[in-house]
């Protein structure tokens, strides 16, 4: 910097650096170079995150609103249907049927019609086989010579003579849809706008609430169990502390499935805990406790599995707390409790905060443990997402559910920042 401040004696005007350029410019350039160098250093990571994380997840989440398939498979029909109003109580006119036959002949040729049937079957039961069966027969209809088509199509399948069939096609013909998001909150897109699903099909909101509640319960039990352990590890000689730390980490290195299945062996009705209780005559043989395949099973198993994520940040924060503070507090007349509560605890809060965020965010997206030990009352929304990804293939709904989950986590994170303050989180 010393050479940058040199100026020629007697010169007025802007200060110049050694090579004669104005100092301001020169400084800006060197700052820019520094920034570029830093960017080049993180570029590999940035690219990696972008390519392997942001882009695919963004694409997946976009499926929650994307609905090209109807308009792309039945372009003429969608245009022709614009004139028609489902509320009129009458079937669409001949032009719609003609457009539909023309579209279907192309779609059957490209084998796109069954794909469309699958899509529409998410909304209206029976669409899947209607498109599959009709496809076979429409192949034999000539899109020009065989007019008029209305009668012929209704002959192929009487469902084409139902207003609901056409209303479903029209309702879901938009290219960007809110339908999946409505489904994700137990509602549906209808010709009359958004409406609630029938009560006996409402499940997803309930699962969202359950996921949040149980994740909070798991986080709370992790704090209660983890705090004393972290305290003992941090406040004992290194030899004892390290041994305890290994005990904490040991299950961490064991397969997740093994740990989860071990809880089944422990908690099932013919399991270790029940056998011992029966042997001790605490419970009767025919009244064994149900502790697995319900909420209790999920909370117990997940608390155990996530506990290291709570203990480790707590421990690393507690390690930095000077023991002299506690001694000072006591020498000034504080009781053990006051010294702990007023002096030690506030300093350990950042560790609790970091642990809680970790545990809660991991818990909210957990899938495999609830699936195995959750039964019917202990499953999470992620189990439904997995079902729609790999079993029902309704990726749009899965993406909508995942987007809502992501938004919920971000909102909670924001709320945490407002209430506790994110600066108050420490990993060590």
Report how far apart, in Å, the C-alpha atoms of 217 and of each of 116, 143, 274, 406, 420 are. Answer: 43, 62, 24, 19, 19
Interface with other proteins (CB under 8 A), residue total: 36
User: Is residue 70 classed exposed, middle or buried when 0-12, 13-18 and 19+ CB atoms within 10 A define those classes?
Assistant: buried
Q: Is 377 in the site for other proteins (CB under 8 A)?
A: yes
Task: Find the part of the chain contacting other proteins (CB under 8 A) among 93-101, 168-176, 305-313, 373-381.
Answer: 373-381
Spatial distance between the Cα atoms of 20 and 72, rounded to a whole number of angstroms:
64
Please answer whether residues 214 and 295 qualify as being in contact, where contact means their C-beta atoms are separated by less than 8 angstroms.
yes
Spatial distance between the Cα atoms of 364 and 402, rounded to a whole number of angstroms:
11
Q: Is 254 in the site for other proteins (CB under 8 A)?
A: no
Backbone angles phi, psi at 193, to 5 degrees: 95, -170
Which among 291, 273, 309, 295 is positioned nearest to 217, based on CA atoms?
295
* Per-position x/- string for 56-95, each x denoting binding to other proteins as judged by CB under 8 A, each - no binding: ----------------------------------------
Q: Is 375 in the site for other proteins (CB under 8 A)?
A: yes
Please answer whether residues 173 and 92 qualify as being in contact, where contact means their C-beta atoms are separated by less than 8 angstroms.
no
From the list 13, 37, 111, 193, which residue makes contact with other proteins (rule: CB under 8 A)?
111
Chain residues 186-215 in contact with other proteins, contact rule CB under 8 A: 197, 200-203, 206-207
Q: For 164-177, give the DSSP string.
A: HHHHHHHHT--SB-
* Per-position x/- string for 388-427, each x denoting binding to other proteins as judged by CB under 8 A, each - no binding: -xxxxxx---------------------------------
Residue 203 C-beta: closest distance to other proteins, Å: 4
Q: What is the CA radius of gyration of the chain?
A: 32
Residue 402 C-beta: closest distance to other proteins, Å: 14
Q: Is 319 or 392 the residue whose CB approaches other proteins more closely?
A: 392
Q: Is 75 or 375 the residue whose CB approaches other proteins more closely?
A: 375
Q: Is 331 in the site for other proteins (CB under 8 A)?
A: no
Q: Is 380 in the site for other proteins (CB under 8 A)?
A: no
* Per-position x/- string for 259-298, each x denoting binding to other proteins as judged by CB under 8 A, each - no binding: ---------xxx----------------------x-----
Residue 293 C-beta: closest distance to other proteins, Å: 6
Residue 382 C-beta: closest distance to other proteins, Å: 14
Q: Is 172 in the site for other proteins (CB under 8 A)?
A: no
Please answer whether residues 19 and 26 qualify as being in contact, where contact means their C-beta atoms are separated by less than 8 angstroms.
yes
Q: Is 214 or 311 the residue whose CB approaches other proteins more closely?
A: 214
What are the residues facing 66 on neighbouring strands?
A: 176
From the list 170, 371, 373, 403, which residue makes contact with other proteins (rule: CB under 8 A)?
371
Q: Is 365 or 375 the residue whose CB approaches other proteins more closely?
A: 375
Spatial distance between the Cα atoms of 210 and 227, rounded to a whole number of angstroms:
25
Only one residue has tokens 């209660």, namely 224
What are the residues facing 176 on neighbouring strands?
A: 66
Q: Is 24 or 132 the residue whose CB approaches other proteins more closely?
A: 132
Task: Find the part of the chain contacting other proteins (CB under 8 A) among 80-88, 235-243, 385-393, 400-408.
Answer: 385-393
Q: Is 117 in the site for other proteins (CB under 8 A)?
A: yes
Spatial distance between the Cα atoms of 6 and 63, rounded to a whole number of angstroms:
61
Report the greatest alpha carbon distance in the chain: 104
Q: Is 30 or 390 the residue whose CB approaches other proteins more closely?
A: 390
Reduced to 3 DSSP states, what percent helix, strand and coil does the chain have, rounded to the nearest 5?
70, 5, 25
Backbone angles phi, psi at 129, to 5 degrees: -75, -30
Count the alpha carbons within 13 Å of 123 in the hemisphere toward its beta carbon: 29
Residue 389 C-beta: closest distance to other proteins, Å: 6
Q: Is 178 in the site for other proteins (CB under 8 A)?
A: no
Residue 383 C-beta: closest distance to other proteins, Å: 9
Which among 416, 270, 404, 406 is positioned nearest to 350, based on CA atoms?
416
The residues binding other proteins (CB under 8 A) are 111-112, 114-115, 117-118, 121-122, 125-129, 132, 197, 200-203, 206-207, 268-270, 293, 371, 375-377, 384, 389-394
């Amino acid at each position: 910097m010393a050479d940058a401040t040199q100026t020629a004696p007697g010169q007025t005007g802007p200060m110049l650096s050694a090579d004669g350029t104005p100092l301001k410019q020169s400084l800006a350039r060197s700052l820019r170079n520094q920034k570029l160098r830093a960017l080049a250093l993180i570029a590999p990571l940035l690219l990696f995150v972008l390519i392997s994380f942001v882009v695919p997840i963004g694409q997946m989440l976009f499926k929650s609103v994307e609905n090209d398939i109807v308009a792309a498979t039945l372009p003429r029909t969608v245009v022709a249907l614009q004139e028609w109003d489902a509320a009129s109580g009458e079937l669409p006119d001949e032009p719609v049927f003609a457009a539909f036959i023309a579209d279907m002949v192309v779609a059957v040729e490209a084998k796109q019609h069954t794909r469309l049937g699958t899509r529409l079957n998410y909304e209206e039961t029976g669409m899947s086989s209607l498109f599959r069966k009709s496809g076979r027969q429409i192949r034999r209809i000539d899109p020009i010579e065989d007019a008029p088509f209305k009668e012929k199509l209704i002959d192929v399948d009487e469902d084409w003579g139902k207003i609901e069939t056409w209303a479903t096609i029209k309702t879901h013909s938009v290219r960007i849809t809110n339908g999946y998001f409505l489904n994700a909150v137990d509602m549906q897109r209808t010709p009359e706008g958004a409406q609630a699903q029938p009560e006996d099909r409402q499940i997803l909101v309930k699962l969202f609430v359950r996921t949040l509640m149980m994740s909070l319960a798991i986080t709370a039990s992790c704090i209660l169990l983890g705090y004393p352990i972290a305290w003992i590890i941090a406040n004992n000689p290194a030899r004892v502390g390290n041994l305890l730390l290994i005990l904490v980490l040991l299950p961490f290195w064991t397969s997740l499935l093994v740990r989860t299945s071990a809880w089944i062996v422990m908690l099932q009705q013919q399991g270790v805990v029940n056998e011992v209780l029966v042997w001790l005559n605490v419970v009767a043989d025919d009244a064994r406790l149900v502790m697995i395949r319900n909420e209790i099973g999920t909370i117990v198993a997940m608390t155990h599995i996530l506990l290291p994520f709570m203990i480790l940040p707590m421990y690393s924060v507690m390690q930095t707390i000077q023991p002299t503070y506690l001694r000072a507090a006591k020498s000034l007349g504080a009781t053990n409790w006051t010294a702990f509560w007023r002096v030690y605890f506030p300093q350990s809060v950042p560790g609790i905060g970091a642990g809680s965020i970790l545990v809660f965010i991991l818990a909210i997206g957990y899938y495999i443990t609830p699936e195995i030990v959750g039964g019917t009352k202990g499953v999470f929304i992620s189990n439904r997402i997995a079902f729609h990804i790999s079993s029902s293939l309704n990726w749009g709904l899965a993406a909508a559910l995942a987007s809502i989950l992501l938004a919920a986590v971000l909102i909670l994170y924001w709320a945490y920042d407002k209430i506790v303050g994110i600066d108050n989180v420490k990993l060590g």
